[in-house]
Structure 1
């Protein structure tokens, strides 16, 4: 067995429309959306009576996808929407951008705040963390070197 590619990263959210708008603002494209339910999904995820709304978004290059999910049933468990970057588990998603200042300005116009600041890593990158809806941490990275 050999892994062929990463298929997607799933993110469970309470406000699906806000999450979709956030990732579209970042430049991802909506690839599809709709309800998912039935015995087959119950068996796959190991839950009973699953009813979930899904929005699949993808990066412009076609290589990265996020599956945004709002569980109608069973009710999603509440996590810590303010967990810091050193909390165990999947903590952030990183995206390469061509202009970090423009990306940050566009997000700030939508009320998104930086976690820290925009910083330079050697002569290679400018980086920052922003916290999106549901407490999702996104790292933006602009290659400069």
Structure 2
């Protein structure tokens, strides 16, 4: 997999949030023209994108803000059991501290922070613009 894409209204806010989560901004650009519209099927388009890279350097998250054509649907507040895109999950360290930091930046815990057997602590949060993010901390099996 090369990347996962998420469409946002505020690219700066999304970059800031995912930077707090530990991702690094790899680059930012405007994609436009007839060639881009041939890929997406949207015709002529102008899209601001930011490519974020995970700390291990293996995965990317592409954040997009459509200037033209305008967005046509909004799925940001869909519940966890909605059809289609659900969430992106990140492996993290010190999940309690990270959730507290993200909540100070406006994120909201969806349910509860729970422990799955002796393996993981898990939770879902809603980040900027209601984007659903999963967090998982692997527990030491001592």
The TM-score range, normalised by the shorter chain, is over 0.9
CA distance in 2, matches of 1:109, 1:91: 24
- 1:15-58: CA deviation from partner (whole Å, max 9, x where unpaired): 11111111111010000001011121011111122000000001
- In structure 2, the residue matched to 1:107 is 102
1:30 equivalent among 21, 25, 32: 25
Q: Relative to structure 2, which stretch is displaced further, 15-24 or 75-84?
A: 75-84
Q: Across the two proteins, how many residue pairs are aligned to each other?
A: 140
Q: Relative to structure 2, which stretch is displaced further, 133-142 or 114-123?
A: 133-142
- In structure 2, the residue matched to 1:19 is 14
Partner of 1:86, secondary structure, is: coil
CA distance in 2, matches of 1:37, 1:111: 32
Q: RMSD of the TM alignment (CA)? A: 0.9
Structure 1: runs of 5 or more not aligned:
1-5
- 1:81-116: CA deviation from partner (whole Å, max 9, x where unpaired): 211100000111000001101110110111211001
CA distance in 2, matches of 1:24, 1:41: 27
Please list every run of at least 4 consecutive aligned residues from structure 1 whose deviation after the TM superposition is greater than 4 angstroms: none
1:129 equivalent among 94, 111, 124: 124
2:106 touches 2:128 (CA, 8 Å); kept in 1?
A: no
CA distance in 1, matches of 2:108, 2:89: 16
CA distance in 2, matches of 1:7, 1:68: 13
CA distance in 2, matches of 1:105, 1:134: 18
TM-score (norm 2): 0.95
Structure 2: runs of 5 or more not aligned:
none
What does 1:1-145 correspond to in 2, within 5 Å? 6-144=1-139, 145=141
